[in-house]
Amino acid sequence: MKKKILELIDKKNKSKIVSLTAYSKNIATILDNFCDVILVGDSLGSVLYNYKSTREVRLDAMIEHSKSVRMGVKKSLMVVDMPHNTYRNPKEALNNAKKIMSETKSDAVKLEGGKKILQIIKMLVKNKIPVMGHLGLLPQTDKTFKFKGKKISERNKILKDAQLLQSAGVFSIVLECVETSLAKLVTKKINIPTIGIGASNNCDGQILVFDDLIGLNSIDFRFVKKYSNIRKEMKKAVSSYARDVRSKKFPLKKHSY
């Protein structure tokens, strides 16, 4: 197992794991100074392309963005989401995971699901492809956006799935929109790190979509804390630029050849 992954696992119960998404070199370069994990998330579908769901994201798009991110990542663990319909069976999953790993030089891939994709995960791990799991709300397959863990059956399934994923060899699990006490229980019951998004501070770490964190997206989610209002700053900059161009204050002689 790669050194970076072993270091991540070692953080469990010791220090919180910091994770964010990135889709380009420029953003990745900034995040790399502060993050333990940088995820090239299929959330780029809605964030960059205005898709209605992550199900519309294609493998080629993930690979191209990941190539860009790789250029900005030096110290963080870089993980790439395998998009919808790229791991429907073990053979397909292996071919596509190999393609991602070889073309992007990423450290690992992330797959959504539990028992249903167990044999797929085992196939990847057997072929030395590190896998991050993802339980709770599954954007690639869930039809409604609802938190998980209210029903007893749901709680039991997520806990069991987490244990199965661990036994299959995943090195960590993202818990998305999982009820607080369930997130705490899952984190306690498994020996690998949990990374939460809308799953309370009981997880071993946290992940957010970077564009949400900086206020670039106008949408509001309960689990997002906006640490900046970058839209406001962008508007201010563009307004100043437009004013300078129209008043002939830009470009000046020092900006010209």
Collapsed DSSP state (helix, strand, coil) of residue 211: helix
Q: What is the CA radius of gyration of the chain?
A: 20
Quick one: tokens of 118? 């167990």
Q: How far apart are CA 86 and CA 90, in angstroms?
A: 10
Name which of 66, 18, 17 is nearest 42 in CA terms: 66
Are 86 and 111 in contact by the 8 Å Cβ rule? The answer is no
Residue with token string 């949990």: 194
Residue 86, number of CB atoms within 10 A of its CB:
22
Distance of alpha carbon 63 from alpha carbon 114, whole angstroms: 24
Q: Is 247 left (phi over 0), alpha (psi -120 to 50) or beta?
A: alpha
- Token match 């028992």: residue? 115
171, 5 Cβ separation under 8 angstroms = yes
Q: What residues are labeled active site?
A: 176
